[in-house]
Amino acid sequence: MPLNGQLAPPRHIPALTHLPRPLYARAESLGAGSWTPAHRHGWVQFSYAISGVLGIHTEQGSFFAPPQWGVWIPAGLDHAVTTSMQAEMRSLYVAHEAVPWAAPHCRVLEVTPLARELIKRFCALPVEYPLGDSPEARLVAVLLDQLAALPEVAFSLPMPRHPRLLAICNALIEQPEAAARLGEWAARLGSSEKTLMRLFQRETGLSFRGWRQRMRLLSSLGALQRGASVTQAALGCGYDSTSAYIAAFKRLFGQTPGELFQASTLKAV
How far apart, in Å, do the first and last CA atoms of the chain sit?
25
Cβ atoms within 10 Å of 24's Cβ, excluding its own: 21
Q: Which of 129, 153, 177 finishes a domain?
A: 153
User: For the chain, how many structural domains are there in total?
Assistant: 2
Q: Which of 97, 131, 153 finishes a domain?
A: 153
Give, as one character, the DSSP assignment of residue 255: S
Residues 144 and 27 in one domain: yes
Query: In the prediction, which pLDDT does 249 show?
Result: 94
Q: How many helices (H) and strands (E) does the chain have?
A: 9, 10
Residue 204 maps to which CATH number? 1.10.10.60
Query: In the prediction, which pLDDT does 264 show?
Result: 54
Tens of pLDDT, residue by residue, the chain (269 residues): 444 445 567 777 777 889 999 999 998 888 777 888 899 999 999 998 888 888 899 988 999 988 889 999 999 999 998 887 778 888 999 999 999 988 889 999 999 999 999 999 999 999 999 999 999 999 999 999 999 999 998 888 999 988 888 888 988 988 999 888 888 988 888 889 999 899 999 999 999 999 999 999 999 988 888 889 999 999 999 999 999 999 999 999 888 998 887 755 545 44
Residues 141 and 86 in one domain: yes
Backbone angles phi, psi at 145, to 5 degrees: -60, -40
Residues 134 and 222 in one domain: no
Query: In the prediction, which pLDDT does 98 show?
Result: 94
Strand ranges, E, within 126-216: 152-153, 156-158
Q: Which of 84, 119, 153 finishes a domain?
A: 153
Query: In the prediction, which pLDDT does 261 show?
Result: 75
Q: CB–CB of 89/66 below 8 Å?
A: no
Residues 64 and 109 in one domain: yes
Residues 124 and 145 in one domain: yes
Q: How many CA atoms lie within 13 A of 102 on its CB side?
A: 23
Residues 111 and 149 in one domain: yes
Query: In the prediction, which pLDDT does 4 show?
Result: 44
Q: CB–CB of 200/164 below 8 Å?
A: no
Query: In the prediction, which pLDDT does 263 show?
Result: 57
Residues 71 and 100 in one domain: yes
Cβ atoms within 10 Å of 255's Cβ, excluding its own: 15
Domain that holds residue 190: 161-267
